[in-house]
């Protein structure tokens, strides 16, 4: 009975957090299944689209997602989680239906753009809401849980959908994804209407005062300008944090398009062997995320950042020079462990730089910077592969992590994780 009482009192597993995590998992499941498994093959074999058209279709989603993240953060602060997230999941629902029912390229591109707009609120809402509930002492732990939900959805979506699609049964796959989005819409309806899941009496009084003064508020554009100025003044953060945020996702973005290419063309792996490679790295990351998050909350950010960047950089710099399969599996596991160190400590660092009263807008702004790394990284990676060969992208990604290892030394991180 004692453990049940502790479970009920644990804010990290409140209904609000569980709802956000369910939405995160299912939306990422649908998105991964659609973008990584169904669309490339479906558009090529069934619709006869060129690689150029397919590329633009997939790019439309990510650009739409990234462009809207900063304004979505502002909307969260003003309208709350339920309105923002519900609008997003409804757009995502519409996009899946549009993609499933059209056979024209232009509508495929429109559908993916709508998918990007719909998924834009996902990360800002989930991160803002969960870190608000977790408080200062649980930032790294809750970020580990969020990333577990994300990784599980991203990983399971492309794999599970294959069992429903089979050789050419796309109708069943699309129906499954539409069913998943129906569940997400229902869960989004359960979210609280406004922010402030954990409010003090003082905060409640302040909110009532704000509501009573709405009639005297200045015009919308003026309020937005004032709001963003307040965000800028309230942030006390090292200027080095901004290039560091970009570089962290840039290093990951470099790997995104060339991992499969390297596995198939250089290592000549079968689909099963490649799946084992992904599991070797992904499973290690997922298994260690929550324990690492708890240790970060207990011991501090810096040691785990250093260990994570060192492990990941070493694995990437050595990866293309390994000759035996056992060594390759070991390096993939080391890379997974490195990211298990990096993810909770890095996101705890980012969360510590955000003023509590401006969580939504600042998270949206930060996620936009990080999203640029995921856009530019794959472009640079493809050029490096074509011009300098398969070693170059892995070496570049490893060197970027070495640069981050040095850069984070100059970002002050006091014991409690507050960035100066």
Please say which residue of 178, 195, 212 terminates a domain: 195
CA atoms of 377 and 23, how far apart (whole Å): 27
What are the two backbone dihedrals, phi and then psi, of residue 65, each rounded to the nearest 5 degrees? -65, -50
How confident is the model over 11-39, as a mean pLDDT? 82
Identify whether 62 is part of a domain: yes
Identify whether 90 is part of a domain: yes
What is this structure's pTM?
Answer: 0.65
Query: Greater confidence, 40 or 349?
Result: 349
Identify whether 310 is part of a domain: yes
Please say which residue of 195, 226, 261 terminates a domain: 195
Please say which residue of 169, 195, 221 terminates a domain: 195
Please state, rounded to an integer, the average pLDDT across all residues of the chain. 76
Residue 73 belongs to domain with CATH number:
1.20.1250.20
Confidence (pLDDT) at 73: 66
- 357 and 248 fall within a common domain: yes
Q: Is the pLDDT assigned to residue 268 strictly greater than 70?
A: yes
Q: How many CB atoms lie within 10 A of CB 42?
A: 21
Query: Greater confidence, 7 or 60?
Result: 60
What are the two backbone dihedrals, phi and then psi, of residue 321, each rounded to the nearest 5 degrees? -100, -5
Q: Between the CA atoms of 65, 68, 72 and 75, what dihedral angle is there, to the nearest 10 degrees? A: -150
Helix (DSSP H) and strand (DSSP E) numbers for the chain: 19, 0
Identify whether 215 is part of a domain: no
Count of structural domains, the chain: 2
Query: Greater confidence, 193 or 156?
Result: 156
- 138 and 264 fall within a common domain: no
Residue 93 is part of which domain span? 12-195
- 153 and 262 fall within a common domain: no
């Amino acid at each position: 009975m004692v453990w049940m009482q502790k479970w009920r009192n644990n804010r990290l597993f409140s209904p609000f957090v569980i709802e956000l995590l369910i939405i995160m998992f299912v939306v990422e499941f649908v998105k991964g299944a659609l973008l990584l498994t169904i669309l490339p093959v479906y558009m090529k074999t069934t619709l006869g689209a060129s690689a150029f058209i397919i590329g633009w279709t997939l790019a439309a989603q990510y650009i739409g997602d990234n462009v809207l993240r900063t304004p979505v953060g502002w909307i969260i602060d003003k309208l709350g989680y339920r309105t923002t997230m519900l609008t997003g999941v409804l757009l995502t629902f519409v996009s899946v239906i549009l993609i499933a029912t059209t056979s024209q390229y232009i509508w495929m591109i429109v559908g993916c753009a709508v998918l990007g707009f719909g998924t834009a609120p996902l990360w800002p809402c989930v991160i803002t809401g969960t870190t608000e509930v977790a408080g200062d002492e649980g930032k790294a732990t809750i970020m580990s849980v969020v990333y577990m939900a994300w990784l599980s959805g991203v990983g399971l979506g492309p794999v599970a959908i294959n069992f429903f699609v089979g050789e050419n049964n796309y109708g069943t796959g699309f129906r499954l994804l539409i069913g998943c989005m129906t569940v997400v819409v229902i869960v989004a309806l359960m979210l609280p209407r406004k922010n402030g899941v954990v409010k003090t009496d003082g905060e409640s009084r302040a909110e009532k005062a704000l509501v009573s003064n709405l009639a005297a508020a200045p015009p919308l554009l003026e309020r937005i300008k004032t709001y963003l100025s307040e965000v800028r003044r309230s942030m006390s953060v090292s200027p080095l944090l901004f290039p560091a945020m970009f570089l962290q996702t840039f290093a990951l973005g470099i790997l995104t398009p060339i991992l499969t290419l390297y596995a198939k063309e250089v290592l000549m792996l079968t689909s099963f062997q490649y799946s084992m490679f992904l599991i070797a790295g992904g499973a290690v990351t997922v298994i260690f995320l929550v324990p690492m998050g708890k240790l970060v909350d207990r011991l501090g950010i810096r040691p785990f950042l250093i260990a994570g960047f060192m492990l990941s950089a070493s694995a990437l710099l050595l990866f293309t020079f390994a000759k035996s399969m056992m060594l390759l599996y070991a390096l993939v596991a080391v890379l997974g462990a490195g990211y298990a160190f990096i993810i909770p400590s890095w996101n705890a660092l980012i969360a510590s730089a955000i003023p509590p009263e401006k969580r939504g807008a600042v998270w949206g702004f930060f996620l936009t910077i990080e999203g640029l790394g995921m856009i530019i990284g794959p472009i640079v990676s493809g050029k490096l592969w074509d011009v300098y060969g398969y070693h170059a992208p892995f070496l570049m990604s490893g060197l970027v992590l070495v640069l981050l290892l040095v850069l984070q030394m100059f970002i002050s991180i006091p014991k409690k994780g507050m960035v100066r």
